[in-house]
Amino acid sequence: MPATYARLLLVLPGWLAFMLYLPALTHGFVWDDNYFLTLLPNLRDPELWLRQLFEPLFVSRNYFRPLPLFSFVVEAWLGGLDPFVFHLTNLMFHAANTTLVVLLARAAIPAGGMAAVGAGLLFAVHPALVENVAWISDRFDLMMLFFVLLVLVCEHHVARPAIRAAVVGLLFLLALLCKEPAVVLLALLPLWQALRYTAMTDWRQALRASRANGDATIWGALLLALLCYLAIRYAAVGLLHQDDSAIGKGSGLQHLLLVGKSFGWYAVLALWPFGQTLPVHPAPTPVALGDTWAWLGLLAGVAVCAALVYSLVCRPQARRTALAGAMVLAALAPVSNLVQLTIADNLVHDRFLMLPIACLALLLAMVWEAYGRRIVPAVLAGAWSLAAAVSVSSTVPHWESNLSLWRWAYAQEPTSEIAGQNYVAALTDAGHDKEVVAVARVLLANGPEVASTAENLALALARQGHYDEAERLARRAIELYGSRQGVANGRHDLGNAYNSLGSIYLRQSRRDEAEQALRRAISLTPHYSQAHFNLATLLYERGDWNGGDKALALAVRYSTPAMAAVRQSLGNEKKTQMQAKSS
């Protein structure tokens, strides 16, 4: 095959990855996108964004990820908060990551051009990656994977040891600034480097080759990058790690079963994701000692580890594929609850599979090449890829809006706390008050009592004129939020609840109580535009024109560009109306 066509073939999977997700370009903001980009101005306001970059994310104080947040800042500045720009960036990262998987496979299999293309195709169309690509807020995983794969590719292709070490160290630092699990590169890189030396039977020969290749210099650069990251992290958030997981670990055996269940679940999602990809995968913890799936997952993990060790020690011809298999296990390790993850309602997450699937694609390509490029496996892989592409095409539309996403997730997993509370919130935002009341009452009756569900039910009831129950529920939401103020995002949630209570009072013209609640909301969340707008409305009703103008100016400043124009118009209309009444 001519060299030009061979190069074009290598970029084909990346192009297909981009084209497969084109419908996502018409989608809006969903889930955490609204927190990062629309509800609060922290990444939009020139006076706020720099401070926001060096604070932990609202989900957990352990989440320090300034680089993806900076990408949001740049996109908001360039695109004026158009979702198209943010989705386009995600698609470009997915296409780039797919191409890097191809280059990685080509580096591992120099004569395996078709195997490398196959690895890229398997990665491009994998249904478990829909969440990574279609959800703007998973930029963290997309960017982390980009830099991790780039480290491995550059480690292979950059010839001069000093330049290679500098590039690898810098890329590792950038990966860590995207997401903490990038630290797994410290396990992936030696496995990747070992692929070069598997043909050497004498360890002394391998050691000399490693020295000649400058591997020690690369490790020095990695350790320096890690120390720089830890220093930046500690200076920014004041800690290296804090145990804030709500996942129940239980006894030592139950923790092992938790790891086994996580491993088994991820293995199934990676190998047979059809009909199983969702933004939620709830499971009770601690894991019960009689949980059959947990035992099967644990035994499967032990068997895989034993098979890899046997291949490395006793089967020299299988060492390369065994090393690739070890890379898959290493990539899974940070997300398999060896250290419990933060979010309790989800035992596993589709989005955490991105790096393991990249390593799995490399492994499958190497196995196919090592065992003679047989036709039957290639046909099966082609059929799997076609089914995967169809699955992606049918799943992406669910991510179009909050309402479509959570209606789907709640229908599939009605026991998920995350799905339930987000579905109620989406219905509330869409003004579907009857559905809010019906769904929220079921969720609150079945438990647990979730603050956001109580708050949204209060808003729906207030819009229907049921003010007494609405006030009671809003106050209950404040109690529930107040009991968890120590958690990340506690102040914003509590401020939001006070704003909801204030709006309920405002509907009843109970202005003194409304002002007290709204000012409390603003003291908790000073940049919350809705609270400022509600306060402006109240002050205009009282005839405080100057106070209303100041509150309206802040509401407009902290709103999105589209909402700012709406609030300015509504605020001016309210002021004019009240001035006409007073005269």
Tens-digit pLDDT profile for residues 519-560: 999 999 999 999 999 999 999 999 999 999 999 999 999 999
Rounded CA separation 169/223 (Å): 8
**First and final CA of the chain: distance in angstroms?**
85
CA dihedral angle for residue 269, residue 363, residue 141, residue 484, rounded to 10 degrees: 50
Would you tell me how many other CB atoms lie within 10 Å of the CB of residue 179?
A: 26
- Copy the structure tokens of residue 168: 């690898």
Q: Which amino acid is at 482?
A: G
Give the chain's domains with CATH numbers.
Answer: 3-398 (no CATH), 402-582 (1.25.40.10)
Are 131 and 277 in contact, with CB atoms under 8 Å apart? Answer: yes
Q: Which amino acid is at 5?
A: Y
Are 499 and 518 in contact, with CB atoms under 8 Å apart? Answer: yes
Percent share of the chain, pLDDT over 90:
73
Rounded CA separation 295/256 (Å): 9
Rounded CA separation 528/555 (Å): 8
Map residue 226 onto helix, strand or coil: helix
- Copy the structure tokens of residue 402: 């909050």
- Copy the structure tokens of residue 471: 């006030």
pLDDT of residue 203: 65
> What's the gap between Cα 384 and its chain centre?
26
Is this structure's pTM higher than 0.85? yes
Alpha helices per DSSP H over 396-542: 402-412, 417-429, 433-446, 451-463, 467-482, 490-507, 511-524, 529-542
- Copy the structure tokens of residue 15: 């192009």
Write out residues in the chain with pLDDT < 70, as ranges: 1-6, 199-203, 342, 344, 484-489
Rounded CA separation 68/52 (Å): 12
Rounded CA separation 124/369 (Å): 20
Rounded CA separation 209/255 (Å): 41
| CA nearest to 508, candidates 531, 485, 538 | 538
φ and ψ of 346, to 5 deg:
-105, 120
Mention every residue, 6+ apart, whose C-beta is less than 8 A from residue 516: 502
Rounded CA separation 141/146 (Å): 8
Rounded CA separation 171/181 (Å): 14
Q: Which amino acid is at 389?
A: A
